[in-house]
Structure 1
Amino acid sequence: MVPMLDLIKKIGTMFEGISTLNVTTGLVFTVVCLFVWTCTRRPRGIPPGPLITIPILGHLLQIGANPIKSFQKMRKQYGDVFSVYIGNRLVVVINGLENLKEAFVIKGDVFTARPNTYVQDIVAGNKGIFFSNGSIWKEQRKFAVATLRHLGMGRNILEANIQEEATVFLEELATTRGQVTDIAHLVHNAVSNIICTLVFGKRFQYNDPKFVKLLKVVAEDISVSPLADFMPLLRFVPGDLLKINRTIKNAEMVEREFIIPAIDEHLEHYDDDNIHDFISAYIKEMKIMESLGETNTSMDRENLRIAITDLFLAGSETTGSAIRWFLLCILHFPEIQDKCFTDINRIVGCSRPVSLKDKVNLPFVEATIMETLRFGDIAPLGATHGVLEDTTLKGYRIPNGAIIMPNIDSVLSDPIIWGDPENFRPDRFLDEHGKITKSEEFIPYFIGRRNCMGESLARMELFLFISNMIQKFQFVKADDEPLPSLEGEFGLTHCPKPFKMRAILRD
């Protein structure tokens, strides 16, 4: 064996004659190679994606501020199933109806999970309806769906509540007297009140300070950057760049000032013979489980608290944004507004409100609402999913721990399906006889086991609000101002940028 000292001398001899510059160059070259290798290596078998992965950022620079347009380009380059890194999280993006059906319908048992993310763990944990998994999710969703149906969701018995709120909303809208205004707050007040009626058993006055404060923090939380879940360490950067700390404080405030008092009030005045809202129905189920000595249940106060938040957020923001998208689109295409009014005036007149029974006779109005949901693309990436175990999709390995993004936009904006998806054209949903035509590619509320459970309620709200708005008002752009942009803003949803208009009472 060569003594260590001799070995060192031999190595030193090898480097004799090599200049310091060459050694430095070699070291730099080695470091660069290691850096490139680190940035380009990908786990074996996962879906393809961009080659260069920047440490800490992942592919954020390639994705940019508009993930939808970026994903459209990546789909063309890498195929219907591709992957990116956001921060250090592997994200698998699934495009195309058939692939979405394979993942979330055929393989729904595996793809039903919610991934572990920072904001979810802090705000909800594995509780409630939206963010929970496994047996908790199954029990919570099953109860919520059954209870909301009992309370009238999807059935005509809820129509009276929606009509009542629509009437109040139209009266408030009339107070603008045709002046230029942004009615976003009125829209969200009205839609949120319908959820309040279902969940809390009461509506709120639009100027109620408590209600105003609640809607303000909801609007703030909806605008939070999705990057909050991928790069939580940025919460320590001065200025709360991704609004993570604000979101956590808002959640605590809503719980402290709104949800917990509502639960306490329902418990104090609980009447087994007067189950009139979601909270009272939930409390009844809790008492039944307690009387049976059932310990293997998630029907408890903590899950109720989170479920209330889930229902309120899911049931107010998306429908409110859809109404705003409708108003924005008819400002750009007044001939569509005129046709909607002509049909309503011919079928219903102006002496009574439009009701659900009129829906079948107003196919163009319904087609316009459907086109609004397609064009507005309110939830283009749906909600993030995970997989319960390592699995495959289209021959690619999908590892447990990956975040799954269902690209709903890839269906709603596909030129192969729609021909001219960039155009707002309601008649694409009408057949040659002027009747509504069903299309399996129309999936604004998603598909599979995690689809939107409030879809039937949302459809009722949209028809009753929009048809009665058109019956009573003509909506026009602000005088001497250009039309507001049809480009939306990305937060947790895709919503219109703030815009103003005039709502003129019809004669």
Structure 2
Amino acid sequence: MDLSGATLLALIFLACLILYLNGKGRRHKGRLPPGPTPLPLLGNLLQLDPKEMHRSLEKLSKQYGPVYTIHLGSLPCVVLCGYQAVKEALVDQADDFSDRGEFPVFYRFTQGNGIAFSNGEKWKILRRFALQTLKNFGMGKSSIEARIQEEAQCLVKEFQNTGGAPFNPLDLVCRAVSNVICAVVFGRRFDYEDNDFLTLLNHLNENFKIMSSKWGELYNIFPRLMDFLPGPHHRIFRNFEDLRKFIAERIRSHQKDLDPAAPRDFIDCFLIRMEQEKQDPLSYFHMDTLIMTTHNLFFGGTETTSTTLRYSFLILMKYPEVAAKVHEEIDRVIGPNRAPCLADRKNMPYTDAVLYEIQRFISMLPMGLPRAVTRDTPFRDFLLPKGTNVIPLLSSVHYDPTQFKDPTSFNPDNFLDENRSFKSNDAFMPFAPGKRICLGAGLARMEIFLFLTTVLQHFSLQPLVTPAEIDLTPQCTGLGNLPRPFQFRVLAR
């Protein structure tokens, strides 16, 4: 049951008044950047569109500059807009901006456990452990490349089974992408028709969609109020609980036949470390942290990559001349018989440029994940008190006209030099730069290249409407930019 805007606003005001009277507001030392004047309790809510939060923030930057303060309810957040501001903070002062900021929709579930939403020494130790363990199980090596190639062939077979009939690729792409991280974390892949696996992926998809809607944005601004209001945001936490149970069940299964001398996957390695440190009351290796870390890896290793691939299909159908050039490069470098491999990439500058441009253009996580400063931090002419929330507008970096020519247009030339060789750009930040760069960035790059080139090696993508009618604007935008649901045909080449 939806609520009228007036009723919702009134409830927000009343709840915030109670919170304010209980907490007497927050007091911050330091010198925060100027910004729009907040209303008591509501902050700058009336100047923001929860359905397009990043666009509202970008619009405000035109008035207040690339660094300004916005109040989300009673919480002041420093907004960084444009390449230069984001680079100065997240790259040049990486240590100072390396904490995770407040993100209530995730915190209610994680309670600060896991890698993505922990801070301080806990985060450093867990991240170091995860990086080393993932590396030991093939991340960045030929073994994980072979795993992706195998799953890409499974996806091709599923596409072939459609027989040229229209279909929505969402489910099949999610299953293929998710199986790669499942092999590393759970030590196995799942059959595409496994009911538990399908339920799990449905929960992930639904959560990503709701968290990218106005409901997810409003929850992050007014979490205590939204806990009492009806709406689809409550499904997030029911789904989270089902995900927790699924992961916990897999962990119990691992415990039954664990061999400390021969760990099979990430869960085994974590369980071994738990046993080694079970007498240490300060250890960060315990069951709750294992569940949350596994969830972080599973969620992060499924949603953004699968969504990027679905958006890639749409864009290539929207611009058939681009798809034709990619097909030509695949035919010339790889041919029709052998599977694409990562070594091909250096010989495919146009395809590489297309993949980079797709990620720039869609700006999958337009606001990144919130950061916080680790200490009282001088930044430009301001002093950000320790713990200040920071919103790095990654979409504003990817659409910065000082870095990309005509950034609102899709143009692979953004990543090609005058000799038609691939050229990188420091303003390409889909995985967020600095100390908090996505743990699975390397894996995602491998998957996007191998899955997409394998599909295009075998098929041409046929839209059900004319290219001019294909709508690339997101279905919803918040945590992520999600493409509108679509169907297409795949025809054998």
> TM-score, length-normalised on structure 1?
0.86
Amino acid at match of 1:175: N
Checking the alignment, whether the CA contact within 8 Å between 1:484 and 1:499 is kept in structure 2 is no
Q: 1:346 to 1:120 in 2, by over 3 A?
A: closer
- 2:469 and 2:229 map into 1 onto residues whose CA distance is 37
- 1:47 and 1:147 map into 2 onto residues whose CA distance is 41
Checking the alignment, whether the CA contact within 8 Å between 1:331 and 1:483 is kept in structure 2 is no
Q: How does 1:250-269 map to 2 (within 5 A)?
A: 250-256=239-245, 258-269=246-257
Question: Does residue 280 in structure 1 map to residue 268 in structure 2?
Answer: yes
Checking the alignment, whether the CA contact within 8 Å between 2:58 and 2:81 is kept in structure 1 is no
RMSD: 2.0
Specify which of 478, 481, 495 is matched with residue 482 of structure 2.
Answer: 495
Give the fraction of aligned pairs with identical amino acids, expressed as a percent: 35
What displacement does 1:169 show?
0.8
CA-to-partner distance for each residue in 1:460-495, whole Å, 9 max, x for gaps?
101100001111110121057963311012132112
What displacement does 1:236 show?
4.5
What displacement does 1:204 show?
0.8
Checking the alignment, whether the CA contact within 8 Å between 1:181 and 1:501 is kept in structure 2 is yes
> Which deviates more, 334-343 or 476-485?
476-485
- 1:234 and 1:174 map into 2 onto residues whose CA distance is 49
Q: How does 1:420-435 map to 2 (within 5 A)?
A: 420-435=406-421
Question: Does residue 85 in structure 1 map to residue 65 in structure 2?
Answer: no
CA-to-partner distance for each residue in 1:256-314, whole Å, 9 max, x for gaps?
2x111111111111112322311112122223334xx5443212222111100100111
Which residue pairs with 2:31 in the alignment? 45
Question: Does residue 214 in structure 1 map to residue 203 in structure 2?
Answer: no
CA-to-partner distance for each residue in 1:83-130, whole Å, 9 max, x for gaps?
111222112111233322332233333322223443333211121100
Amino acid at match of 1:504: L
Amino acid at match of 1:319: T
Which residue pairs with 1:289 in the alignment? 277
Which residue pairs with 2:398 in the alignment? 412
- Three-state SS of the structure 2 residue aligned to 1:135 is helix
Question: Does residue 247 in structure 1 map to residue 240 in structure 2?
Answer: no
Question: Does residue 63 in structure 1 map to residue 48 in structure 2?
Answer: yes
Structure whose alpha-carbon radius of gyration is higher: 1
Which residue pairs with 2:440 in the alignment? 454
- 2:227 and 2:143 map into 1 onto residues whose CA distance is 49
Which residue pairs with 1:9 in the alignment? none
> Which deviates more, 480-489 or 406-415?
480-489
Which residue pairs with 1:14 in the alignment? none
> TM-score, length-normalised on structure 2?
0.89
Specify which of 202, 225, 229 is matched with residue 220 of structure 2.
Answer: 229
- Three-state SS of the structure 2 residue aligned to 1:388 is coil
Specify which of 421, 425, 432 is matched with residue 439 of structure 1.
Answer: 425
Checking the alignment, whether the CA contact within 8 Å between 2:80 and 2:392 is kept in structure 1 is yes
- 2:317 and 2:430 map into 1 onto residues whose CA distance is 22
- 1:48 and 1:416 map into 2 onto residues whose CA distance is 24
Higher relative contact order by CA 8 Å / sep ≥ 6: 1 or 2? 2
Runs of 4+ in 1 over 4 A off after TM superposition: 41-44, 479-482
Checking the alignment, whether the CA contact within 8 Å between 1:234 and 1:240 is kept in structure 2 is no
What displacement does 1:146 show?
0.8
- 2:416 and 2:336 map into 1 onto residues whose CA distance is 25
- 1:457 and 1:231 map into 2 onto residues whose CA distance is 35
Q: 1:260 to 1:361 in 2, by over 3 A?
A: same
- 1:351 and 1:305 map into 2 onto residues whose CA distance is 42
Specify which of 388, 402, 421 is matched with residue 374 of structure 2.
Answer: 388
Aligned pairs, number? 460
What displacement does 1:503 show?
1.3
- 1:93 and 1:190 map into 2 onto residues whose CA distance is 36
